């Protein structure tokens, strides 16, 4: 579809909904908020501040590869509990 970023297919709404749900959960749980912020920061694109939309998010290719290896579909959107569990695991195992 012309004018639509190639790396944001029809799943875009689901990613937006995931971020919204995670934000709401983080607002009521400061420890989770810190875990999620550290997770986002760790996976940010190098020199993210030079590439539109100027957000510290992972490169689309990396995100698609991670979704394919985890869920068998490069357009998958992870369940909120998987993201929360991974963020907590990362803190506990990696001592972050």
In a domain, 1, yes or no: no
Q: List, in order, residues 6 or more apart from 67 with CB less than 8 Å away.
A: 73, 74, 75, 76, 77, 78
Domain presence at residue 3: no
Q: Is residue 49 part of a domain?
A: yes
Domain that holds residue 57: 12-94
User: What average pLDDT does range 65-86 have in this prediction?
Assistant: 94
- Identify whether 23 is part of a domain: yes
Residue 4 has pLDDT above 90, yes or no: no
6 located within any domain: no
Residue 87 banded pLDDT, cuts 50, 70, 90: very high
11-15, 60-64, 69-73, 84-88: least confidently modelled range: 11-15
Start-end of H helices in 1-96 = 12-27, 30-42, 60-71, 80-94
Question: What's the CA gap between 22 and 94, in Å, rounded?
Answer: 21
SS3 58: coil
5 domain residue, yes or no: no
Q: How would residue 11 be classed by pLDDT, with cut points 50, 70 and 90?
A: very low
Number of domains forming the structure of the chain? 1
Closest CA to 33 of 45, 21, 25: 25
């Amino acid at each position: 579809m012309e004018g639509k970023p190639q790396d944001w297919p029809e799943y875009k709404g689901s990613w937006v909904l995931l971020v919204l749900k995670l934000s709401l959960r983080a607002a009521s749980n400061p420890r989770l908020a810190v875990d999620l912020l550290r997770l986002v920061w760790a996976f940010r694109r190098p020199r993210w501040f030079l590439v539109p939309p100027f957000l510290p998010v992972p490169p689309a290719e990396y995100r698609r590869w991670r979704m394919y290896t985890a869920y068998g579909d490069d357009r998958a959107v992870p369940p909120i509990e998987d993201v929360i569990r991974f963020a907590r695991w990362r803190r506990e195992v990696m001592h972050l």
